[in-house]
Amino acid sequence: MRPSIEEQLQGTCRVLENVVAPCVNDPMALTMLDGLIANLRMLISAYPAVPGFLRQDNENTVQLLATLASSLPAELTARVAEILKMPEPDPVDVAALDARNASLRELLALAVCIESLSADHQRAILQHMSERASRVPMRYVATAPSLPSSEKI
């Protein structure tokens, strides 16, 4: 498909940098524009890894929820059992993978709040969340404030 998603995002960045940015005089607005451009560039590099990340995170979260199920209240156990029976989404359907991920993460968030979880289960949840955080492909890109055009070197 032409232009590709990457090409479209790159083109948007070029227009923002070469056409819009020179017309922005307000330092705060320019800082925000720089942040938006940086975010678009992050998306360009990170987006190809999103489906694989979601598939792996869904698989890991399903395994964790299955492990926790016996320690959860009946209503939550039933919800976990229901989602574990659902078929996996198409591996290239990012929207479906993301929707399943949101459902799984909601159940995990509810499970985390259960006070009666064993220390082993609490450690498993903490390890899962730490490992997940280390693999997330899309990360915030901080930008420094831009100098006004008259101050640029």
pLDDT tens track for 48-72: 999 999 999 999 999 999 999 889 9
Quote the number of domains for the chain: 2
Q: Which of 60-64, 84-88, 101-105, 141-145 has the lowest mean pLDDT?
A: 141-145
Q: What is the pTM of this model?
A: 0.81
Please give the helix or strand (H or E) that residue 109 lies within, else none: helix 94-112
Rounded CA separation 153/148 (Å): 10
User: Same domain, yes or no, for 96 and 113?
Assistant: yes
Q: Give the model confidence (pLDDT) of 89-106 as tens digits.
A: 999 999 999 999 999 999
User: Is residue 86 in some structural domain?
Assistant: yes
Mean pLDDT of the chain: 91
User: Is residue 148 in some structural domain?
Assistant: no
Rounded CA separation 21/142 (Å): 18
User: Same domain, yes or no, for 26 and 72?
Assistant: no
Predicted pLDDT at 43: 93
Domain range for 127 = 50-135
